[in-house]
Structure 1
Amino acid sequence: FSLFARHRIRGRMLDYIYKNGTDIPVADSAWAESRAQFNSLVTEATDAFEAADRTFLWEAVRNAVHRLPPKEQQVVDGIYMQNREPKELALELQVSKTYIYKLQKTGVRRLRGMLSRLMHERRE
């Protein structure tokens, strides 16, 4: 994926989470950088409640990513948070690029599942 596509996908994930009402946490440098970008969105929020809600959603996404199996977590984090190329991740993890795409697809599906449960809980 191009850098633009990755940012668009990351933005869509956050939009989906925000729109449907969900949450996530993070610690490493890539997440910290993404958190800074996310915080710039929060400062554009019109009121304190919206800013708090966005922060809560960010923490939910981060928690969900950290619940993924290790390889899926590495791939999702590498592609979406660190903007790394699948080829680079494949070399690092000593697997094929096709396997990286499979891990990415599976990881995103798991995240959607985890976040859909959170959204359901939040609505109740």
Structure 2
Amino acid sequence: MNVWIVLLAAVSSFVVGGLWYSPVLFGKVWNAENGGQPATGHPAKVFGVSFGFSLLAAFAFAYLVGPSPTLESSVKLGALVGIGLVAASFGINYQFAQRSFKLWMIDGGYHAMQFLLFGAVFGVLG
């Protein structure tokens, strides 16, 4: 496992997440779907913990994809994990919490994109 590739994958998903949840893309809708109240908590803690989870996800993906994956197999695995495992699991939770389909599309879509991005990073550099 190449730790530098794992770190790059984590950073890339963190950057995409920043854009995804910004007012430029889905931030305003996401905030409205969550009751219109901005997130609370110290920004350094929020971003630090979020990056830690991105790093954990990148390490787990590196383990799953194995050494020297092809771009095709790595992106397919990213789609399977992001859509079939993470977004689907969010869907179950959101259904029971009676959260909106729109919110699920934003959050599930981000994680689908996150793992597709992991697949691209590992497929190109791995």
TM-score (norm 1): 0.32
- Relative CO higher for 1 or 2, CA cutoff 8 Å, sep ≥ 6? 2
